[in-house]
Amino acid sequence: MLESKLDIKRDIKVLQKRYEELVNLAKEWNIHDFNSCHETICSSFSKIKDHLEELENNVKQKEELFISPEYAAIIERLFGEHNIGFLGRFPVYEIFPYRLIFNIKKKQAKIVGDKIREKNYNLNPESIVRWVSEKYNAIWSRRFDEDEICQELLTAYQYIVGFNSDQKVRWGRNILIREIYNLWTIKSIAKEKYTESMFLVDLSKLLRKNSIEYKDYIFIFSSHRDSKNNYRFQSPNNTRSFGILAIHKKSEYRA
């Protein structure tokens, strides 16, 4: 195959050189040499045409694979080999906190998420999964400090729920998780540095624990009745939707 590629490259160079000669011979009325040169060009062009047809057939086979169930099976197997958790089925995969979308008509793949929207026309399954893996690992391998996150949640919660008439924090009240992120990133520059995707990944890591306790407090996450107010969080074994946080003092909490 390598020799074939080298032959084609050589033939293309010869074709270019011979064509220039052919044009000059035509201008000079050199009919004898023109006919000989023309024959050489036709021979080279025939080889190139055969190679182009070979390449076209090769790409058609890859296109047939792309739209077949086998392609999806390869992608999903590679997800497993790269330890990439996913939900959904081809052509749309949820790869928290992103979505991987294959566009059959445009022959492209696209990663969509908070602050990210990238297209890729290299549909080689290994290339696609490496591309996804880079994005996935970049956000999941970020530094995570559980105590720091809990303290930030606690501080934001106290600010949002406020105080009662006795100047005591209203522990146990439900607040929207979205309010916490909005408070943390009240400045636009903060949202650029700490995106919503980063926020969701940090909370997902925190939610891997069955019980979340910090100092004298218990953190209770629950779903909101309006699904629009819920975030979907990924854990090792499942995906859960939460939209509400309530923080209770341990001494006052009753399950």
> How confident is the prediction along the chain (255 residues), in pLDDT tens digits per residue?
434 554 667 767 777 777 777 787 678 776 777 787 777 777 777 777 777 788 888 899 999 999 999 999 999 999 999 989 888 999 999 998 899 999 999 999 999 987 789 999 999 999 999 999 999 998 888 899 999 999 999 999 998 988 655 667 889 999 999 999 988 887 666 777 888 888 989 998 898 887 899 999 999 999 998 888 888 876 555 677 899 999 999 888 776
The last residue of a domain, from among 119, 140, 161: 140
Same domain, 132 and 181: no
User: Which residue type, as a one-letter code, is found at position 16?
Assistant: Q
pLDDT for the residue numbered 162: 81
Q: How many domains does the chain have?
A: 3
Contacts of 204 (CB under 8 A, 6+ apart): 96, 233, 234, 235
Domain limits for position 162: 146-249
What pLDDT score does 238 carry? 65
Q: In this structure, is residue 57 part of a structural domain?
A: yes
> Which of 140, 163, 183 delimits the end of a domain?
140
Task: Please count the other Cβ atoms lying within 10 Å of the Cβ belonging to residue 245.
Answer: 22
Instruction: Give the pTM.
Output: 0.74
Same domain, 159 and 234: yes
157 and 230 housed in the same domain: yes
Q: In 67-213, which residue ranges form alpha helices assigned H by DSSP?
A: 69-81, 125-140, 146-161, 177-184, 188-193, 196-206
Helix (H, G, I), strand (E, B) or coil at 205: helix
pLDDT given for residue 233 in this prediction:
77
Supply 251's token pair. 């001494």
Residue 69, preceding peptide bond in cis (omega within 30° of 0): no
Alpha-carbon distance of 164 to 30, in angstroms, equals 104
Q: Residue 145 has what pLDDT?
A: 92
